[in-house]
């Protein structure tokens, strides 16, 4: 990953003037060629090209970095899946682990996951994170918590969970998750299906759901199932497989991205109370090569993704770009790909994808993408010897 000679090759390869063609971004053949998109450009949108970013190592030697969040005034917080949260200064100096995290179930895909700066941080220093919570009988479940970050950035206090997924499971698979805020006091928490897709359709469980609660974990009165008993009242949308990317778009709405099986990664714009189909409909197949369920891509009462990928990109985190440093990326969605390992750039118009670029293929498994206040872009590279890369111009 951190080999300058390879980085130079990537830079040269992508050093092409802004252009757009009618052919899709380079990718392999579909796993399920018989599936057709439900509308034009739901997949394989025309390829775009932008001029190359400069790449620098920002932080070396992180163990499976998973989430990043820039602090007001500079510097950022970064999680490591094994169960750590650290501060990184504006010049890339890495702190010792911040003390005060709850008990974390670190195993399989579980551990310390996303981190976000609370909307009221300037007043109360509250930060938020998602993690695999260890239950008393040593099962793991996705949870979201918040705590107060000390002025010296070394300690969390007043830690409390604001969401705990039910039921817990012994599975090490599909914990999600991201945590994002709208500008009206709502917290969205994305989850995964814990390797049991049927539960994503079960509204009595918070497996395979997008969750919406207040900043302190209460059910907002306008939630789609607010009049139902908990935990259904916490559900915003359902039928999701494993949502590891989420952000609020320029339209003020929640956008999410989820892992499909073999084929069928999806970009969604989840609306309240709606069913996003997993595992009943989708654009992938089982890892065995057999169809998922009845092999359907469309069904009444189930929503279509805005966009899908086959073969998969294995999406991590994502962010909309808005800054002067990369003017040709303005308004675009930047998505981290774990496999094949690249930055995926989507251009949207009227809620549809109209262009796609694959940038920095082979750079490594990108778990998260953070657009910094200065317009640079940080990529969290997941690996035993992972780290953070900084893209600039
Ligand atoms: Ca779906």
Q: How far is the CA of 305 from the centre of ligand 1 (A)?
A: 6
Which helix (H) or strand (E) segment holds residue 246: the answer is strand 243-248
- Cα(364) to ligand 1 centroid in Å equals 27
* Dist. CA 136 → ligand 1 center (Å): 33
User: What is the reported pLDDT for 356?
Assistant: 98
Q: Residue 139 Cα, ligand 1 centroid: separation in angstroms?
A: 27
- In this prediction, residue 97 carries a pLDDT of 98
Residue 1 CA, ligand 1 centroid: distance in Å: 33
Closest CA to 32 of 309, 310, 287: 310
Q: What is the pLDDT of residue 183?
A: 96
Q: Is 301 helix (H, G, I), strand (E, B) or coil?
A: coil
Task: Please tell me the distance from the alpha carbon of residue 258 to that of residue 380, in angstroms, as a whole number.
Answer: 18
Nearest to 315 by CA among 207, 178, 195, 182: 178
190 by Cβ neighbours in 10 Å (0-12 / 13-18 / 19+) ranks as buried
- C-alpha to C-alpha distance for 374 and 17, rounded to whole angstroms: 23
So what's the pLDDT on residue 360? Answer: 96
pTM equals: 0.94
User: DSSP string covering 325-349, please?
Assistant: SSGGGTTPEEEEETTTTEEEEEEEE
Q: What pLDDT score does 5 carry? A: 35
CATH of domain 4-392: 2.120.10.30
The pLDDT value given to residue 10: 42
pLDDT, averaged per 10 consecutive residues of the chain (393 residues), comes to 40 43 91 96 96 96 97 96 98 98 96 98 98 95 98 98 97 98 98 98 98 98 98 98 98 98 98 98 97 96 98 98 97 97 97 97 96 98 89 97
pLDDT confidence of residue 20: 58
| Active-site residue set | 174
How far, in Å, from the CA of 74 to the mean position of ligand 1?
A: 37
Report CA Rg, the chain: 20
């Amino acid at each position: 990953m951190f080999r300058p000679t390879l980085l130079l090759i990537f830079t040269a390869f992508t050093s092409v003037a802004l252009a757009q063609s009618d052919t899709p971004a380079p990718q392999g053949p579909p796993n399920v060629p018989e599936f057709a998109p439900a509308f034009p450009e739901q997949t394989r949108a025309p390829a775009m090209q932008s001029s190359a970013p400069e790449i620098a190592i920002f932080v070396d030697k992180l163990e499976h970095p998973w989430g990043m969040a820039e602090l007001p005034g500079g510097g950022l917080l970064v999680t490591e899946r094994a169960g750590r949260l650290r501060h990184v200064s504006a010049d890339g100096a890495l702190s010792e682990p911040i003390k005060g995290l709850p008990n974390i179930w670190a195993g399989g895909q579980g551990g310390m996951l996303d981190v976000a700066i609370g909307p009221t941080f300037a007043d109360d220093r509250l930060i938020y994170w998602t993690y695999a919570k260890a239950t008393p009988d040593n099962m793991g479940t996705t949870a979201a918590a918040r705590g107060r970050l000390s002025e010296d950035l070394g300690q969390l206090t007043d830690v409390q969970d604001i969401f705990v997924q039910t039921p817990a499971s012994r599975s090490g698979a599909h914990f999600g998750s991201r945590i994002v805020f709208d500008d009206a006091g709502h917290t969205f928490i994305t989850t995964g299906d814990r390797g049991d897709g049927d539960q994503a359709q079960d509204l009595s469980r918070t497996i395979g759901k997008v969750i919406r609660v207040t900043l302190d974990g209460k059910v907002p009165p306008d939630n789609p199932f607010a009049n139902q008993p908990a935990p259904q009242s916490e559900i915003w949308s359902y039928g999701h497989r494993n949502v590891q990317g989420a952000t609020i778009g320029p339209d003020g709405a929640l956008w999410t991205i989820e892992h499909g099986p073999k084929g069928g990664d999806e970009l969604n714009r989840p609306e309240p109370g709606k069913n996003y189909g997993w595992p009943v409909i989708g654009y992938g197949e089982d890892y065995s090569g057999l169809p998922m369920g009845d092999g359907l891509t469309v069904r009444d009462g189930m929503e279509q993704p805005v966009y899908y990928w086959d073969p998969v990109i294995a999406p991590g985190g994502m962010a909309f770009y808005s800054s002067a440093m990369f003017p040709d990326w303005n308004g675009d969605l930047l998505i981290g790909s774990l496999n094949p390992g690249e930055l995926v750039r989507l251009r949207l118009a009227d809620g549809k994808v109209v262009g796609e670029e694959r940038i920095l293929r082979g750079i490594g498994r990108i778990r998260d993408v953070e657009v910094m206040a200065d317009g640079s872009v940080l990529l969290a590279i997941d690996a035993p010897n992972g780290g953070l890369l900084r893209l600039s111009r």
